[in-house]
Structure 1
Amino acid sequence: MNKVAVILIVVFSWSYSIKAQSKTAKPNVIIIFTDDQGYQDVGVFGSPLISTPNLDNMAKNGIKFTDFYSASPVCSPSRAALLTGAYPARVGVTSVLWPNRPGGLSNQELTIADMLKAKNYATACIGKWHLGDKDEYMPTANGFDSYYGIPYSNDMSVYPQAKVSENILFREGMTIDSIRQEKWRKGKVPLTQQDEIIEYPVDQSSLTQRYTKKALEFINENKEQPFFLYLAHSMPHIPLYASPDFLGKSKRGLYGDVIEEIDWSTGEILKTLESLGIEDNTLVIFTSDNGPWDLKNGQGGSALPLRGFKFDTFEGGMREPMIAQWKGKIPASTVCNELASTIDILPTLAYLTDSELPEKPIDGKNIWKLLSGKKSKSPHKKEGFYYHNKNSILEGVRKDHWKLRIVDDKVALYNLEEDISESNNVASQYPKIVKKLHKMMIDFDADMKKNQHQFN
């Protein structure tokens, strides 16, 4: 064998080895999911008063998505969609879940945690769950090895029949009888570990700090094996709380304080990945569950230049800031203007980890080509659907730059490329486009109802 042949074989073997390694490697995954954060409420998305140096740096080291959507304008459905890769209507979580009420995310659904646990990942859920507070719906019944956080929104109350730890910390004069009574105490919520209440009511001003501490502990404990961390912040859902370290520091008032503390938290996680030498094997995704509250006096966020807020299907209710970083895999300072959604995260992770997709139909697509900065169009063919939380009504569809929205028989067509604020209804000028998009809505909704997930 001549020298040239030997070199070719070596080069081929090296190339094949690299490709095989990239396909079989198991990246760590961290999803940071905020609550009710507006599209503009990050520096790189245009916030004039909120300082987010860590998130801005994350975008500098990775990718920023300008057209990234939640699958619902409210909490529980949006979280079900993120974890299952399916629209909320398909998995039966179509409205906000309240404590001590029936229903939740079926533990027969395949979640991201279930999928990665099957690949020997360590899995942890830290923060807000909000997909059912009975045992059969809690994180530990849906693929997570551990849970630490508030099981629902921080403005709710306690589930009277919840399990209580023997070592529970009672605050503000509360007792076990305070939990067992059916009295609703708005904003007096429990801190839960696994499936037991360990503090009641929780000191909400310490939540972001405590969630961060738990997240860092989990990362350090599992640095030698693949892990999945789902860090779902309770903030900036109202009531707003910030720790003394951040209270009164932002130019944007209390809301800004809260976001800046979340930015600090993100920075602590990124620094830890770097110090442990695992940032080049960790995909970190930052986004929010839905748009901001429509509140004055600095209590709510900003979705500008988008129209609308939480609870509605205008862009401001569902288009979210999204930043992703994976050193060496995602090119630095990349901006993606293609349509993508939280429902795409599960199938993308399935591709990256060679995992099996759910047997039942889902709606998400593998967006790795978008994340990795390759020249690519959205796998959705720029099609996205806007379901409202009330009775899971389909109110809109986006196709390319066109968006059709039909609410209470009022038809509105917007050109999002020219009119991102949805201020100019051009439905009367383009009746053929309205007809085409309306048919898409009817056909998709019919398929959705026909193929909803059912379990025995």
Structure 2
Amino acid sequence: MIRYGMVAVALMGLMRLMVGGCYASEQKPNIILVMADDQGWGDTGYNGHPVLKTPELDAMARDAFVFDRFYAAAPVCSPTRASVMTGRSPIRAKVPNHGRYMRPHETTLAETLKAAGYTTGIFGKVHLGSGQPGSPCNPSSMGFDEWVVGLNFFDNDPYLSRNGTVEHRKGKGSVILMDDAIEFLEKHKEGSKPIFAVVWFPSPHSPHKEVPDGVRLYDGEKNAGYFREIALLDQQVGRLRGELRRMGLAENTILWYCSDNGGLLKESSGGREKKGSIYEGGLRVPGIIEWPAKKLKGRTSVPVVTFDLFPTLLSMAGIEAANPTPQDGMDVSGVFSGEMKRRAKPMGFWHLFQGGQSTKSDLILKDIMEKQQAGASLPHNAERMQKDSFDFPQFPEDIATGHAAWNDWPWKLHRITKKTSVYELYNLEDDPMEATDLSSLPEYRERFERMKAELNAWMRSVVRSINGADYKRKGRN
């Protein structure tokens, strides 16, 4: 079976993949990416939540480097995860909404790090493809050596796929995935290769059945279930940091924490609206990074987005690898030294280009497990092995469905399309809640027209990507 991204990375390796950059003479760092599911920017103690306590994230924030304006690439889960894996707007990779599979043609962060000598693993909620063996859209095909995953969010006693074999696990899902991640780190801590691990929590996504250890928290609070799952998540982040110290891995490990989209509560979203919206509350999320060996510490208001992780991590690890497809992200490692004081590249967002697709993780994986145990033919072969990821429907370049935005800090332009398109312009520095639309004021006319042209040009480039132009140009279609 052809794996397009792996072929591309192998070719890059023959041509140019090498160690370079500012950390070239030193051992490559381990890299661990941790992501919450539906935690808003204000849903942390260190960002001043009036009720919720997150002592472990607060400790990490004190010890490490905090992003005040960290953005998810989309206001829902699957697209943001695709942006981390590709460094691109998720629509380019054919993940415009939840439940869509990422195209196998994409070159992923895992593939690139694996080609540079890393051992790779992913644990938890993936929501980008299949959990079946042999699928061109499972984590193996994305570049991961080892994996234990759910297809979407899960809670207690989940069904999880371990390298394609489904298991019914007992316990809290967020604890189980951390068990698996720590087991992976323990297994490879003495190895000759650096480690890349992705740890993606299923919490605090509803229905909020998981509860933290210890004293029962938040009784009587309106959003007690949500708060309890964040508390459980917080405990597991602290557990991971403690295990890294115990294993002797903490010093040379880049640990990056964020959420996949805005939170479930408008009051603590850090902006207007919440999950599902292109307004700030649907995109702004917690962001913390630590690397003790480089003494990363401080705080920045420079905007950073999840598709920046790909180029930034390669730079930090001293890896040169020219991605064969157009990137939306940029290397933001200069913010750690203070050299980068403002973002040079605008950020484009686009939601509801297409609708989402339901993914009932436990139901699907239970069905697969029963067939595996019975030695019967696996189900969902047509529906779940690859979905429509090899299809290339041709969208017109001027399509403008849904809601798009162009963030050229501190200015943000919205294009909201129903039957017609309506534009809104905000200055986020003066108006963080996006309450006063400036688009019709004559003094901002020049800026409005320029940003409108930039947004529309970017949207058309995204449509060309989902239509397959990037792969054709590289001979990969």
TM-score by length of 1: 0.80
Q: Deviations over 1:328-350 (max 9, x none)?
A: 31432x11111111111111122
Q: Could you say if the C-alpha distance between residues 81 and 304 of structure 1 is closer, same or farther in structure 2, counting changes exceeding 3 Å? A: closer
Give the unaligned 5+ runs of structure 1: 1-18, 98-102, 156-186, 294-299
* Aligned 8 A contact 2:124 2:148 in 1: yes
Shift of 1:243: 3.8
Which whole-Å CA distance do the structure 2 matches of 1:244 and 1:94 have between them? 33
1:237 is the counterpart of 2:239: no
Match of residue 105 from structure 1: 102
Match of 1:124 among 121, 126, 133: 121
Change (3 A) 1:244 1:95: closer
> Once the two structures are superposed, what CA deviation does each residue of 1:39-91 show, in whole Å capped at 9, x if it has no partner?
10111122111111111111111111011111111111111111110001211
Give the match's secondary structure for 1:44. Answer: coil
Residue equivalent to 2:464: 450
Aligned residues: 390
Offset at residue 239 of structure 1 (A): 1.5
SS in 1 for 2:294: coil
- 1:301, distance to aligned residue in structure 2 (A): 7.3
- 2:304 is aligned to 340
Look up the match of 1:9. none
**Contact preservation (8 Å) 1:280, 1:327:** yes
Q: Is the 8 A contact 1:385 1:394 kept in 2?
A: no
Counting only pairs closer than 5 Å after superposition, residues 135-154 of structure 1 correspond to structure 2 as 135-154=135-154
> Which residue is 1:373 aligned to?
337
Question: What is the CA distance between 1:247 and its match in structure 2?
Answer: 7.6
1:56–1:367 distance in 2 versus 1, CA, 3 Å:
same
Distance between the aligned counterparts of 2:304 and 2:152, measured in 1? 26
Name the counterpart of 1:3: none
How far off is 1:26 after superposition?
A: 0.7
Aligned-partner Cα distance in 2 for 1:269–1:228: 14
Q: Kindly tell me: are residues 405 and 194 of structure 1, through their superposed partners in 2, closer, same or farther at Cα, counting changes over 3 Å?
A: same
The residue aligned with 2:351 is: 388
Partner Cα separation in structure 2 for residue 21 and residue 93 of structure 1: 33
Instruction: Identify which of 275, 289, 292 aligns with 1:310.
Output: 275
User: Pick from 400, 406, 425: which aligns with 2:437?
Assistant: 425
Deviation string, structure 1 residues 397-424 (Cα, Å, up to 9, x no partner): 1112111112132322111101111112
Which one of 324, 327, 332 corresponds to residue 292 of structure 2?
A: 327
Within 2, Cα distance between the matches of 1:21 and 1:70?
Answer: 27
Residue 339 of structure 1 contacts residue 383 of structure 1 at CA under 8 Å; is this kept in 2? Answer: no
3-state secondary structure, aligned to 1:37: coil
Q: Is the 8 A contact 1:36 1:292 kept in 2?
A: yes
- Which of structures 1 and 2 has the bigger CA Rg? 1
The residue correspondences of 1:253-332 to structure 2 (distance < 5 A) are 253-293=224-264, 300=265, 302-332=267-297
Match of 1:398 among 407, 410, 433: 407
Q: Is the partner of 1:259 in helix, strand or coil?
A: helix
2:427 to 415, 435, 444: 415
Matched, 1:441 2:409: no
8 A Cα contact 2:154 2:173, kept in partner? no
Sort the Cα spacing of 1:301 and 1:223 in 2 relative to 1 into closer, same or farther, 3 A. farther
**Equivalents in 2 of 1:393, 1:422: separation in Å?**
18
Q: What SS is found at the alignment partner of 1:290?
A: coil
Q: 1:23–1:340: structure 2 CA closer, same or farther, 3 Å change rule?
A: farther
Could you say what secondary structure the match of 1:147 adopts? strand
Q: 1:307 & 1:21 partners in 2: Cα distance?
A: 40
Counterpart residue type for residue 269 of structure 1: L
Tell me, yes or no, if the aligned pair for 1:72 and 1:389 is still in contact at 8 Å.
no
Which residue identity does 1:310 align to in structure 2? Answer: K
1:124: Cα distance to partner? 0.9
Aligned twin of 1:191:
160
The alignment partner of 2:452 has SS state of: helix
Q: Match of 1:61, as an amino acid?
A: D
1:249 to 217, 220, 233: 217
Query: Per the alignment, in what secondary structure is the counterpart of residue 365 of structure 1?
Result: coil
Partner of 2:366: none
| Letter of the 2:151 counterpart | P
Match of 1:26 among 25, 28, 33: 28
Superposed CA offset, 1:68-116 (max 9, x none):
111111111111111110001211111221xxxxx62223321111111
Seq. identity, % = 28
CA 151–360 in structure 1, closer or farther in 2 if over 3 Å, else same = same
Partner of 1:165: none
| CA spacing shift, 1:423–1:288, aligned 2, 3 Å | same
Distance in 1 (CA, whole Å) between partners of 2:235 and 2:266 is 18
1:54 to 52, 56, 73: 56
Identify unmatched segments of 5+ residues in structure 2.
1-20, 355-400
